[in-house]
Chain A
């Protein structure tokens, strides 16, 4: 008797342990998945945070009358002025190679910003001014501590001599980091310290605008037709099967469609937000239709019956009574679909939105790129300084995604109706 009791209790303990193990398997799986998410977003945020700051270097610039003609300030050789000023800051450098290394500390953009300064402030011609310039990407990485000095005294591509010069600037408080406005106001550049996301962000905005203008009306109209006019008909079933399958087609296939139909058959401009928006619209369409149908289905039949009962036609019933009630749900579906479109890269590669775009696109027909494609291009770049830019661009993309999803969640909870 006691024996069998002991046996049973050991068995029940075993079963209890198995139960606990099983529960923990589920917990561990969730912890792994969420842990990966946190690790990925966290490490990208850490890599990208540095891109918010940019290193600037200051030195005295001699804006003498010999170099700059006050009548035509834009014609002066500002590159030479920058170089001469740098030489003056380090008068003991005579070797040509060393001079070249010295010039490398400052970004290639310095001559343009000096020109802008002089053209806008002609009164300063003839004076000497301490001016701040963007440092080169190598100095930037070193000064922000992204690269450390190796045993030979080099820091990344900076040699020991250049590191020493940076230290001199540092001692004289002529080097500092500032908020990197350029990252948000400039287009792409071959020089990492000059590259910004504004051109790709504008491209994304144009593309998504086209996507919304095309996918939203077509999506809700076809949802209305399928749900309100031909429910449970053979044609409705065929279209429905078609839509669910379309929702699962790999996005790159939509890119191929855009390439052959929009570019090669219709001759639309390559790399343009118009074509990008069209392709993403077709891709987003199933999402919007499925969400809109669900929204229409949630409107109580009593609304329809009441409208029909007082003599409204079916079209009046749908458009005056059902659609207004379902609209928040439809809009939520559209935003979720647009959020997916925002992150899409592969179809845009197919239609040539991978170009190197410096200028901010000014129309839907101008060559453009999109933020995720910019991330792809920068991620491919061998320059180490682009790693930081890529991560920062990813953070910007994720922020936009979070914002869009938040809007969708708020919209959904605000207009949730119970019939």
Chain B
């Protein structure tokens, strides 16, 4: 690498060159600060409105309130004009759908990753991996359409034939489809993680007479567990932030329930409902969307930071 004093020596030869190089340098710095600016912008754009919202609705009522009905009255003297802004039904709804998604995606993603990393030959791998990744590349609006028009009616009629009462916008339909969508997130990252386990560990286990599956279960997975955990956290964060599938397939009914056959709503679906169409930026109804957005941002950020820490730590362990 060349030292800065040498650079400045060459620069002295021409003032014009120096000026234009200064301009280039400035553009480069400005460009790389855009990303920082976006992060600040995200926080600011939600923080101001969220603070205004918390002036109208106390933060503890928002975080621990059990009822969500954000309608505000047209006339101020109308009954129930305040609306109620308890986010618990939205949080449990989000968790319910994400849990269903993770219950689908974790076994599928992990089993695929193990097969790809340990059993598949390079040719098989080169075919299967891109096909699996198509799942993550399909727009979420397509999954939403499919969940609402094919999966939900299917679940409803199947449940009906067993005498089960299933809501047409059940959490199950949205969760199942979302689960398939996040399979490649888990399989790709876990595949990398399993591949990074040193070959010596495998050889040692084989040398002791273990079969391949025993080696995987007893040696490779324990060695890779933290990296796998990181990939699961990233997938969970995607599931929590997913919007279109829940908007189209899960609906807006804020039920406080853990029954996957009932309709629930999520934080993201409510943000869409509150912010599309005409808004008044002084009503608690509109402002509540920003509080929800901030909540969503903070939760997904924390999950991501933990996931990246875990994965990074894991990589350093075997580098």
- Among A10-47, those with CB < 8 Å from B are 15-16, 18-19, 21-23, 25-30, 32-34, 36-37, 40-41, 43-44
User: What residues of B have a CB within 8 angstroms of the CB of A27 in the complex?
Assistant: 115
Interface residue? B34 (CB, 8 A): yes
A350 near B: Cβ within 8 Å?
A: yes
**Given A343-B139, A346-B268: A242 in contact with B241 (beta carbons within 8 A):** no
| CA A342 to CA B140, docked complex, whole Å | 11
Instruction: Report how far A375 CA is from B39 CA in the complex, Å.
Output: 30
Q: For the complex, would chain A's binding face be called helix, strand, loop or mixed by DSSP majority? A: helix
1/0 per residue A243-275: CB within 8 Å of B?
Answer: 111101111111111011100100000000000
Task: Report chain A residues within 8 Å CB of B265.
Answer: none
- Point out the residue from A15, A33, A354 that lies within 8 Å of B108, measured CB to CB: A33
Knowing A250-B300, A397-B139, the reply to whether A260 touches B241 (Cβ < 8 A) is no
Q: Does A332 touch B at the CB level, under 8 Å?
A: no
| Interface presence of A390 (CB below 8 A) | yes
Contact of B35 among A285, A343, A375 (CB under 8 A): A285
- The residues of A that contact B116 with a CB separation of less than 8 Å are 26, 30
**A349 near B: Cβ within 8 Å?**
yes
Using Cβ atoms and an 8 Å threshold, which residues of chain A touch B10? 311, 313
B178 to chain A, nearest CB (A): 12
Q: A19-B212, A253-B296, A349-B276 are known contacts. Are A242 and B31 too (CB-CB below 8 A)?
A: no
Please, which residues of chain A bring their CB within 8 A of the CB of B74? Answer: none
Interface secondary structure of B, over-half rule = helix
Instruction: Confirm or deny: B63 has a beta carbon within 8 angstroms of a beta carbon on chain A.
Output: no
Neighbouring A residues of B242 by C-beta, 8 Å: 250
Give A342 Cβ to nearest chain B Cβ, in Å: 8
A225 adjacent to chain B (CB < 8 Å): yes
In angstroms, Cα B279 to Cα A294, docked, is 43
Contact digits for B298-312, partner A, Cβ 8 Å, 1 yes 0 no: 001100110010000
- Interface stretch (choices A78-86, A178-186, A214-222, A410-418): A214-222
B21 interface hit (Cβ, 8 Å) = yes
Residue A282 at the chain B interface, CB threshold 8 Å: yes
A308 at the interface (CB under 8 A from B): yes
The residue that B241 contacts in the complex, of A250, A319, A345, A373, with Cβ under 8 A, is A250
Are A37 and B135 closer than 8 Å at their CB atoms? Answer: yes
Bound-state CA distance A251–B241 (Å) is 8
Taking a contact as CB atoms under 8 Å apart, the answer to whether B28 and A224 are in contact is: yes
Pairwise interchain contact A249-B132, C-beta atoms closer than 8 A: no
For this complex, 8 residue pairs linking A to B, each with C-beta atoms less than 8 Å apart, are A18-B211, A18-B214, A30-B111, A36-B180, A250-B296, A253-B293, A346-B140, A350-B275
**Known A245-B301, A250-B300, A256-B289; further 19 A-B contacts with Cβ < 8 A:** A22-B217, A23-B213, A26-B116, A26-B119, A222-B35, A238-B36, A249-B241, A250-B240, A250-B242, A253-B296, A253-B297, A256-B293, A257-B45, A259-B275, A313-B17, A345-B141, A379-B144, A394-B142, A405-B137
| Interface of A toward B, CB cutoff 8 Å | 15-16, 18-19, 21-23, 25-30, 32-34, 36-37, 40-41, 43-44, 217-219, 221-222, 224-226, 229, 238-239, 242-246, 248-257, 259-261, 264, 282, 285-286, 289, 308, 311, 313-315, 319, 339-340, 342-346, 349-350, 352, 354, 372-373, 375-376, 379-380, 387, 390-391, 394, 397-398, 401, 405
